[in-house]
Amino acid sequence: METKIFQSDQLDQAAELLRQGELVAFPTETVYGLGANALLPTAVKQVFAVKGRPSDNPLIVHVADFTMTKEFVESYHPLTEKIIKNFWPGPLTLIFKIKKDSLSPIVTGGLSTAAFRMPDNKKTLSLIEKTQAPLVGPSANTSGKPSPTTALHVYHDLNGKIAGILDDGATSIGVESTVLDLSGDTPTILRPGAVTQEKLAAILGIEVPLDKHLVSESETPKAPGMKYKHYSPDTDVLMVQPNDWDEAMAWAQENNQKVGLLVSPTIADKYLSADRFVFADDTIEAATRGLFSGLRALDEADKVDLIFAQVFPEDHLGLAYMNRLKKAAGQKYFAK
């Protein structure tokens, strides 16, 4: 199969492929999604096959506006309107109880709930409108590997396996959306992202808990990205605490381990001889935006034995960064 790169003036072609049951990757502000018509079970099955993704993993349904959810949702949480008004379009996925048989169990993972998101990307919103159907859109990569933040990342993983990729450059956030469960009484974050606990609490006027449960391989997750190990390159990753860098670099030299560094400029400047992927600046925003690109770059260079990755405080956006990094590293820190 030829994988075509679509530009803005080719949205009609991309939408026609989706209506026919083909797969087309699309850009969002978070990561690139692997798009399939959510109303065509045979197309959705192909998503799992192409990614090598376990079929118990539920998929996020991407919509062009809130009214598109009404065909499927059985009941809305009382805070839904306030949440939608403040955070859609944007990097926030909402889980609702759905009407029986309104979506295929292939989409929901067999659950009585489903996840919905309105991405903040004009090209993709137009693509959904032209397709005249919502789109499932898990990250457009091989399952378990670092998520794609450019069309080139998608092409690297899925060339020849999908019909096309809608290109819109690099994503602006770099990690997947926050997932907020609204199917129960208390809104609960199942996956942290750019819409933080603090932002939600400020708008809603209530504490919004974070479910830190890590799902084992034998469990069915309620939302994507809840598995214990995820986002992992082939090269082993170790997280390095702020005070451990000198010791970690000395250990690597003593043990003839060639390491690649995933770090901010301040740390990179201390170890100029090492291979490294350097974030644009020292902020958590830059680190989050560069996390998956850095993991991919260091892994694909095929020159390092080990990746040492910088950690950040686990608050605000740092919670999302560390959530992904911990899973990429299998929860492992450097320890001599």
Residue 52 CB burial class (10 angstroms; 0-12, 13-18, ≥19)? exposed
- Is residue 218 a known part of a binding site? no
What pLDDT, on the 0 to 100 scale, is given for residue 91? 98
Q: What is the pLDDT of residue 229?
A: 58
- % of residues, the chain, pLDDT over 70: 95
Whether 174 shows a pLDDT value over 60: the answer reads: yes
pLDDT of amino acid 322:
97
Is 231 labelled as part of a ligand binding site? yes
| Range of lowest pLDDT (23-32, 48-57, 211-220, 308-317) | 211-220
Q: Please say if the pLDDT value at position 226 is more than 70.
A: no
Give the other-Cβ count within 10 Å of 68's Cβ: 18
Quickly count: other Cβ atoms within 10 Å of residue 20's Cβ.
11
Instruction: Kindly list the strands in the beta sheet with 306-310, ordered across the sheet, starting from the edge strand earlier in the chain.
Output: 236-240, 306-310, 259-263, 275-278
Residue 298 neighbours by CB distance under 10 Å: 26
Residue 184 burial (CB count, 10 A): 11
139: annotated binding-site residue? yes
Query: Under the phi-then-psi rule, with left for phi > 0, alpha for psi from -120 to 50, and beta for the rest, what region is 13?
Result: alpha
Q: Which residues pair with 139 in a beta bridge?
A: 33
Residue 228 has pLDDT above 60, yes or no: no
User: 9 Cβ partners below 8 Å, 6+ apart?
Assistant: none
Ligand-binding annotation for 271, yes or no, is no
Given a cut of 90, whether residue 89 has pLDDT beyond it is: yes
Rounded CA separation 210/95 (Å): 14
Identify the sign of the CA torsion 68, 70, 74, 75.
positive
Q: What is the pLDDT of residue 52?
A: 86
What are the start-end ranges of the E strands in 160-268? 164-166, 178-181, 188-191, 236-240, 259-263
Identify the pLDDT of residue 224: 65
Q: Which residues contact 115 (CB under 8 A, 6 or more apart)?
A: 58, 59, 60, 61, 93, 94, 95, 179, 223, 224
The pLDDT, as a whole number, for residue 302 is 67
Q: Is 276 annotated as a binding residue?
A: no
Tell me if 30 is assigned to a ligand binding site. Answer: yes
For residues 288 and 290, give the distance between their C-alpha atoms in angstroms, rounded to a whole number: 5
pLDDT over 90 at 137, yes or no: yes
Does 221 have pLDDT greater than 80? no
Which pLDDT belongs to residue 187? 97
Above 90 in pLDDT, residue 54?
no
Q: Please check whether residue 139 is in contact with residue 148, taking contact to mean a CB–CB distance below 8 angstroms.
A: yes
Q: Report residue 84: phi and psi, to 5°.
A: -60, -45
User: Is pLDDT of 146 > 70?
Assistant: yes
Q: Judge whether 62 is annotated as a binding position.
A: yes
Q: Is the pLDDT of residue 320 over 60?
A: yes
Q: Which domains does the chain have, with CATH numbers?
A: 4-204 (3.90.870.10), 236-328 (3.40.50.11030)
| Per-residue pLDDT reduced to its tens digit, 237-296 | 999 999 999 999 999 999 999 999 999 999 999 998 889 999 999 999 999 999 999 999
The answer on pLDDT for 97 being more than 90 is yes
